[in-house]
Chains A and B, each alone.
Chain A
Amino acid sequence: MPESNIPASDGKDLPETVGHDFQPKAAMVDITTMLKDAASALTFESPMIHTDSFNLQDSMAALEIMDQKMDCCEVPASAMLIEPTEQQNDKDERMIFPRPAPTGLDDVIDALPWDELTIEDAAFIALENVIRLESLLSGSSVVESTYTCLYSHKVVLEDMHKRLDPCMSLTEQMKAIMQTPTQKGTMAQRSVFASTLLLVELTDLVRGVILNADIYEEEDFGTSTFNIASFRRPSEGFTLKIVLDEISSIEEESTKLDQYDNQDALEAIRLTLSFQKDLMVAVSSLARLSGKTIRKEVEAAQQSIKSAKKKLQDSVPIFARLKEKQSDSVKVILRRTFDPFVNRPLVGNSPVRTIVFRDAIDATNEMIRMVDEVDWCVCKVILKANSLGRIRRMMRPVSSESANILTRSLLVLNLYFDELIFGQYSLPEMIVRYMRQLSHVPDSIVNLPTTDAFLNRLCKPVYDTLKLMALNRNRQRSYLDIMLGDWSALREEAYIADMTNHQDSGSHSELQPHFSVYVISTTIELMDNYVDLGVELELLCNEHELTIAYWYRDFLLSSLLTQLNTMRRYKLDAKKQVHQDAEQFPATVSGGKPQKGGKKKGKNKVSVSNGASNRTNRDDLSITPTVEDIEEEVEYLFLNAKRFLCRGIVRFFVSLNQAGLIKENSFDFTSNEIIYQKRFEPFIDIHQPPYLTYDDYLKGSDFTKLTQNNLVSASSDSFGVAKSLIDQALKHMSKLDPDFLPIQVEEVKQLSKVCVANSVYLQRLKQLTVGGKTNAKLTLDMATHKHFCTIKLG
């Protein structure tokens, strides 16, 4: 505190009319000089007169109290009305403090509905709890979702438990021992208790999964952030027991109520409780897989998830019927039991995010979708993806569909545990099998110690490429920036491993740099993904930036296809060699099966090197393509199709430029070259493929030597080739398991549409050019396919 220039006063300095018993009506004292002296004594380091319990931040916060915008506890009075009436929307509406968190069922501010609860009330409360759960899973914090249900607060749950626990009195405990338990409370009360318990249990479970997976970097939406005490369950399995008891009680009651009005309400409660219970069981199970029973546990979880989805779907028409005849009293009950403002005092004195809940039908449909995702994004992937190629293909839709955070967290949590992929497969083995699938790496290389060392080195980067697909699309792009550096550094190591292996194997044939090719092809895929995401997120959005993006993608995809062709050539050469040998020496080469007598020879020799066991040549060299061969072939065809699509779009843009329909911008403070350099800065550190400069782009996109007609034709040809490749791939796709498709059928149709639509608009451009028109309206449409634009000319 700065030294004060204000003289100490013992009251003697005060005017005579002002005594120690100061009367408000007495004469006022002019303290201007006193304040000026005090203010002049303040310094930057000590900006105000303060004490330890009241500092600058407190004074700033105090000034914002009751500010309509800044004070989070200024709530419009109309929002707090219990009885629904016409609401005022004018800015002069009275603002009030939100109700505090309840202190129990008999809260002094407003007792929570309890004795008067009906079955209909309980059904709608259960539905509202599902809406809160959906909001939590969609990214709201616990104070914005779960704990807007007043029943979910710890003291209320404890109160409910106390009132409903049949074993609280000695008599009841004796009855329980005598196995004549009594049920306390009404069915409505027990249902509300069960439904709320499930909401809290699921909240804690979901939070635990997401925190452990650690792919969600936004605010911690757990209870600890806001100092909310969570209801402590008295024992393991407490919630499940309560819920199962209540469900069977409802089922029993339902049989007695044939034509009773409440049949729908009872059924709605039963389905909602069962849905939440099944979801809880599935997520709990998937969150702690381990040991040798993984597949059984996942299958059981899958059954629970399917059951949960079915129950929720069945509840939709029932709730629709209930809503039609929903009474006003139910609406009042809901307003008394769900309050979006109750947690405002917990978030500090700052403006808060608008809390928005979907309506019941939308929330339920969204919840059904999220639950379904757990099945196909987690359970199916763990059960079916048995090779690196298939894992990538099955995880790609998880990435592109932006699956829910819970789903992606469960996937990441189970991606690598017990030192195995999905707790089942050795990653080094998987990498080798994948490389063999693509390019056939001979046993003489696979079984070398250098290979082991390099494979172990590859594990983390390969794992990262899989984990990448579980991040949301926006975060993937940021993470790719870092990963590209890692993969670029790997290239050197791969080359050294190839050279060493070549020398150690004593082979006199030409060096086949399998690892280098694999590392380079993965690097190019990541680079292509980086540019692709820029287009999808609409970060690259105008004609000029999209031209550059597709031009660069054309180059990257061409480089990738070159690498893949190299790998395919190695495999083809190896196949030819094997079959030539088989024809020449049929007695000694068995083509993959162990010899009689138990001793394995030739290509089936099992290496004793640690980690290289079981890496023997299999039927990946058979003439008949395997199912995985066809999957890879389809992927290859689509890569090629995308390359031609990019090429076609670039030429289309250049044609538009030549026709004067688009013009390049120039800027006062920056330049197109600087923008290009910054856009592709993550690629500068990568040696192969080489970084393309802005000059390279200008030269590569310079088609001035072509006439407009020729350019338009070239563009049209590119779209034509892309379309035919897509059609070719479609024929193969019908033979494949839909779960292993590299691209979904829906996306294939979208790509086809883009090819056809762009071809049509190219013809339009031709007509315009012939007609000498230069002012057509140009629209870039990403709605058909989020990675490839349709260039529409009006």
Chain B
Amino acid sequence: MAETATQNLSVLPEDSPSDDKKPPSVPQIVFVNYENESQINDVMRLVALDLSEPYSIFTYRYFLHRFPDLCIMAVDQTTGDVCGCVVGKIDLETVASPTILPTEESLDGEQSPADQPLPTPVSPQQQQTGYIGMLAVSKLYRRQGIGKALVKQVLQRMEDRGCTSVTLETEVSNKTAQELYQNFGFVREELLVRYYLNNSDAYRLRLWFCR
């Protein structure tokens, strides 16, 4: 299985245009793209072990077939084991933009509120929003920066594809995951009560890219 996972896989390039976009390096770990169905079992195995929500094979295929470039796997170079993966997608989201306020030049400080020009409303827009569906790292390989590296890479790709923000859900009790994402600048956007099948609550986190 491990051999299948590493055959004919393209390892992510290390010589990227700038340091910011360079894939982070973790000793003995290479990061590879998802390329075909032969890798799906590795992804399913990792995710099923760690995440409480059950997913069918169709859910995995929905992500992986439509957005293969948003699935990145971490492979141990010495053993060939797939030890981590991240799976994402991109959706179109309708966002109500804030009203355009009058600029300073258009305002006269002595005008009464009634005389000030009214704000111009802007119609709702469709924007690309990334979504991180699954992130899993084998227990034996944790605390080495693999999760952080996977998230960084998938965020980079989502930004490169024009996303304005990225969302995900994580269990309220999962402090480790929240800390990981908050270090990237994700903030808690909403509390989702009884979101998971085990009746636990979740936070929806969101990161807004700088534009």
| Interface flag for B140 (CB, 8 Å) | no
State whether A675 touches B187 (Cβ < 8 A): yes
CB distance from B25 to the nearest CB of A (A): 15
CB distance from A510 to the nearest CB of B (A): 14
| Interface flag for B193 (CB, 8 Å) | yes
Q: Contacts A675-B187, A684-B101 given; indicate if A492 touches B209 (C-beta within 8 A).
A: no
CB nearest neighbor in B for A491: B113
CB distance from A12 to the nearest CB of B (A): 38
CB distance from A694 to the nearest CB of B (A): 13
In A55-80, the 8 Å CB interface with B consists of 60, 63-64, 67, 69-70
In B186-205, the 8 Å CB interface with A consists of 187-194, 197-199, 203
CB nearest neighbor in A for B113: A495
In B172-193, the 8 Å CB interface with A consists of 182-185, 187-193
Q: Which chain B positions have C-beta within 8 A of A685?
A: 98-99, 101, 119
State whether B208 touches A675 (Cβ < 8 A): yes
* Total number of residue pairs linking A and B with CB closer than 8 Å: 101
State whether B210 touches A671 (Cβ < 8 A): yes
State whether A670 touches B210 (Cβ < 8 A): yes
Partner of B182 from the list A63, A495, A542, A684 (CB cut-off 8 Å) is A542
In B108-140, the 8 Å CB interface with A consists of 112-114, 116, 118-119
State whether A688 touches B113 (Cβ < 8 A): yes
Q: Which chain A positions have C-beta within 8 A of B113?
A: 491-492, 495, 687-688
Interface size of A in residues (CB-CB distance below 8 Å): 44
State whether A495 touches B114 (Cβ < 8 A): yes
A70 CA to B56 CA, complexed, in Å: 7
State whether A684 touches B159 (Cβ < 8 A): no
State whether B197 touches A352 (Cβ < 8 A): yes
A351 CA to B51 CA, complexed, in Å: 14
State whether A538 touches B188 (Cβ < 8 A): yes
CB nearest neighbor in A for B198: A354
Q: Which chain B positions have C-beta within 8 A of A539?
A: 187-191, 203
Q: Which chain B positions have C-beta within 8 A of A495?
A: 112-114
Partner of A669 from the list B185, B187, B189 (CB cut-off 8 Å) is B185
Per-residue CB proximity of A522-555 to B under 8 Å, as 1/0?
0000000000000001111110010000000000
In A19-44, the 8 Å CB interface with B consists of none
State whether B208 touches A69 (Cβ < 8 A): no
| Interface flag for B27 (CB, 8 Å) | no
Q: Contacts A669-B209, A670-B209 given; indicate if A63 touches B57 (C-beta within 8 A).
A: yes
A669 CA to B207 CA, complexed, in Å: 8
A406 CA to B132 CA, complexed, in Å: 36
State whether A351 touches B184 (Cβ < 8 A): no
Q: Which chain A positions have C-beta within 8 A of B191?
A: 474, 537-539
Partner of B98 from the list A356, A491, A681 (CB cut-off 8 Å) is A681
A670 CA to B54 CA, complexed, in Å: 32
Per-residue CB proximity of B147-171 to A under 8 Å, as 1/0?
0000010011001000000000000
| Interface flag for A238 (CB, 8 Å) | no
CB distance from B77 to the nearest CB of A (A): 25
| Interface flag for A496 (CB, 8 Å) | yes
State whether B187 touches A545 (Cβ < 8 A): yes
Q: Contacts A545-B187, A669-B155 given; indicate if A351 touches B209 (C-beta within 8 A).
A: no
Per-residue CB proximity of A480-513 to B under 8 Å, as 1/0?
0000000000011001100100000000000000
State whether B197 touches A351 (Cβ < 8 A): yes
A13 CA to B196 CA, complexed, in Å: 55
| Interface flag for B105 (CB, 8 Å) | no
Per-residue CB proximity of A568-589 to B under 8 Å, as 1/0?
0000000000000000000000
A545 CA to B188 CA, complexed, in Å: 11
A454 CA to B29 CA, complexed, in Å: 68
Q: Which chain B positions have C-beta within 8 A of A449?
A: none
| Interface flag for A668 (CB, 8 Å) | yes
Partner of A356 from the list B58, B112, B118, B199 (CB cut-off 8 Å) is B199
Q: Contacts A351-B54, A353-B197, A499-B114 given; indicate if A667 touches B99 (C-beta within 8 A).
A: no
In A628-651, the 8 Å CB interface with B consists of none
Q: Which chain A positions have C-beta within 8 A of B159?
A: 669
| Interface flag for A563 (CB, 8 Å) | no
Partner of B190 from the list A354, A478, A540, A670 (CB cut-off 8 Å) is A478
Partner of A668 from the list B112, B116, B184, B197 (CB cut-off 8 Å) is B184
Q: Contacts A63-B57, A70-B54 given; indicate if A679 touches B187 (C-beta within 8 A).
A: yes
| Interface flag for A224 (CB, 8 Å) | no
State whether B197 touches A670 (Cβ < 8 A): no
SS of A interface (majority): loop
| Interface flag for A442 (CB, 8 Å) | no
Q: Contacts A60-B56, A495-B113, A685-B98 given; indicate if A667 touches B185 (C-beta within 8 A).
A: yes
Most buried by B among A539, A540, A665: A539
A125 CA to B54 CA, complexed, in Å: 34
CB distance from A520 to the nearest CB of B (A): 10
Q: Which chain B positions have C-beta within 8 A of A496?
A: 114
Q: Which chain B positions have C-beta within 8 A of A688?
A: 113
Q: Contacts A542-B182, A675-B187, A684-B101 given; indicate if A60 touches B210 (C-beta within 8 A).
A: no
| Interface flag for B20 (CB, 8 Å) | yes
CB nearest neighbor in B for A481: B96
Q: Which chain A positions have C-beta within 8 A of B190?
A: 474, 477-478, 539
CB distance from A14 to the nearest CB of B (A): 33
Q: Which chain B positions have C-beta within 8 A of A545?
A: 187
State whether B197 touches A64 (Cβ < 8 A): no
Most buried by B among A472, A491, A492, A670: A670
| Interface flag for A139 (CB, 8 Å) | yes
State whether B188 touches A541 (Cβ < 8 A): yes
CB nearest neighbor in A for B203: A539
CB distance from B188 to the nearest CB of A (A): 4
Per-residue CB proximity of A688-730 to B under 8 Å, as 1/0?
1001000000000000000000000000000000000000000
State whether B208 touches A674 (Cβ < 8 A): yes
State whether B193 touches A674 (Cβ < 8 A): no
| Interface flag for A288 (CB, 8 Å) | no
Partner of B185 from the list A67, A491, A537, A670 (CB cut-off 8 Å) is A670
CB distance from B100 to the nearest CB of A (A): 9
CB nearest neighbor in A for B48: A69
Q: Which chain B positions have C-beta within 8 A of A684?
A: 98-99, 101
| Interface flag for A175 (CB, 8 Å) | no
In B41-80, the 8 Å CB interface with A consists of 48, 53-54, 56-58
State whether B199 touches A353 (Cβ < 8 A): yes
In A735-763, the 8 Å CB interface with B consists of none
| Interface flag for A50 (CB, 8 Å) | no
Q: Which chain A positions have C-beta within 8 A of B99?
A: 684-685
A64 CA to B56 CA, complexed, in Å: 7
State whether A675 touches B185 (Cβ < 8 A): yes
State whether A60 touches B58 (Cβ < 8 A): yes
State whether B188 touches A665 (Cβ < 8 A): no
| Interface flag for A323 (CB, 8 Å) | no
Q: Which chain A positions have C-beta within 8 A of B209?
A: 669-670, 674
Q: Which chain B positions have C-beta within 8 A of A675?
A: 185, 187, 208
| Interface flag for A184 (CB, 8 Å) | no
Partner of B184 from the list A70, A541, A669, A674 (CB cut-off 8 Å) is A669
A384 CA to B154 CA, complexed, in Å: 58
Q: Which chain A positions have C-beta within 8 A of B199?
A: 353-354, 356
In A154-199, the 8 Å CB interface with B consists of none
CB distance from A91 to the nearest CB of B (A): 12
16 additional contacts (CB under 8 A) given A541-B188, A668-B20, A685-B99:
A69-B54, A354-B197, A354-B198, A474-B190, A474-B193, A539-B203, A540-B188, A545-B187, A669-B185, A669-B210, A670-B208, A670-B210, A674-B208, A678-B208, A685-B98, A687-B116
Could you list 7 A-B pairs, sorted by A, with CB under 8 Å? Answer: A63-B57, A668-B20, A669-B209, A670-B184, A674-B210, A685-B101, A687-B113
| Residues of chain A at the chain B interface (Cβ within 8 Å) | 60, 63-64, 67, 69-70, 139, 351-354, 356, 472, 474, 477-478, 491-492, 495-496, 499, 537-542, 545, 665, 667-671, 674-675, 678-679, 681, 684-685, 687-688, 691
Task: Please list the 4 inter-chain residue pairs (A to B) with the smallest Cβ-Cβ separation, ordered nearest first.
Answer: A69-B54, A667-B185, A670-B185, A684-B98
